[in-house]
Amino acid sequence: MKFSKFGRIALASVVSLGLGFGATACGPSNTIDFLYVTSSKQNPGQINVYTVDSQAGALIPILDSPYPSGGRNPVADVASPNGKNLYVINHDDNTVVEFAIGTDGKLYPQQTCNMPGSYPAQLAINKAGTYLYIVETFQPNYSTNIPGPGALVVFPVNSNGGLGPSNNCTPVANGANAFFPVGNNPVAVNVLASGNYVYAVNETDATISAFQVGSSGALSLFATYPVGVAPNAAASDPTSKFLYVTDGAANQMIGFLIQVNGTLIAMQTPFKTDNLPDAVEVDPRGIYAYVANYNANDVSAYAIDRSTGNATQISGSTTYAVDAGPLCILIEPSEARYIYTANFLGNTVSGLFLNPANGQLSAVQNTPFKAAGQPTCSAAITHGNHSVQTVPQ
């Protein structure tokens, strides 16, 4: 059996995730936002909570941070679009934990749901905040000793942030099953901004499982697409027209045109990255893409052609340095002016200023910022009446 993405990287079960949700472009303000970074070294795991200085991009830990993640080896987190809840998956305990987010950014555990299979690897939430999608390494009855295909689990999200009907942790049914089958070793999941289609990336098979979302939240698999050598992360643009997948083995990012019916057409030529790309994020405007490169300790920056989806490396500098072992990349949602990477080997979070005029990056003051041991991924929430405008084609 092949090692998973993080088995190869660090012999630790951690997974990358580029999380962000459409927010803000009302210019610099005194808005204070919060950044949440999972860390996997301690047992139980930890969640670092920072306030974000919107004037400079600096991170300041809040009182009582870090918080317990509610389980062992938290590998990814995502915030609800309304900023009221945080969801964390704990890889080694096969759980997802729902936290309420206080107005001061503090976390309050509400619900712990067991997963039907084992080893949750990544999660995503739809723009409406009504469904949470989690990929698991193994379906029920499979394990590291009995390898087999993975699963995609869909939880309904209630108005109070709870998971399952009446907050009972019950996933959307697939006949008699509580999951939807995918390929071997799924490591990433992406739901389009439209909410109509969901894509799971299967690293061992080098495929993408494509699903249509039904009115009840049930998924229908309609296609499986080959992608690269060892795909490990995915992101789509805010217009739901382009999908980008990083390939950690071939040091490339592969682009797809998303058709109206959800089918994918591969762009003609992959886009070069630095060494071992493992996370990708598209900015809320839809005009830039950024890739974290684990072995190179840097970020690759691209401008997106809004007609073709082609990604061209931004002039000035093709890569930007961060601390050691970036696993995850996030564009903060308040004003989309700062990028943060969770650095697994550096035990830090790096901050970069995003110039909206040209997409170039520069280090924020005092970066990197200390985190608990082995940070794995990050999510953020915004406060105030802000919204980033998607650039029309």
Q: Which domains does the chain have, with CATH numbers?
A: 5-381 (2.130.10.10)
Distance CA 294, CA 342 (A): 10
What does the pLDDT look like over 155-207, one tens digit per residue? 999 999 999 999 999 999 999 999 999 999 999 999 999 999 999 999 999 99
Reported pTM: 0.92
Please say whether the beta carbons of 66 and 53 come within 8 A. no
**Going along 3-130, which residue ranges are E strands?**
32-39, 46-53, 59-61, 67-68, 74-79, 85-90, 95-101, 107-114, 118-125
Cα–Cα distances in Å, from 242 out to 267, 311, 340?
Answer: 10, 11, 23
**Residue ranges in 146-191 assigned as alpha helix (H):** none
Distance CA 162, CA 232 (A): 29
What does the pLDDT look like over 30-86, one tens digit per residue? 456 899 999 999 999 999 999 998 889 999 999 999 999 999 999 999 999 999 999
Distance CA 310, CA 196 (A): 23
* Burial annotation 212-231 (CB, 10 A radius, 16+ → b, else e): ebeeebebebeeebebbebb
Distance CA 205, CA 1 (A): 11
Question: What is the band of 271 on the pLDDT scale with cuts at 50, 70, 90?
Answer: very high
Gap between the terminal Cα atoms of the chain: 44
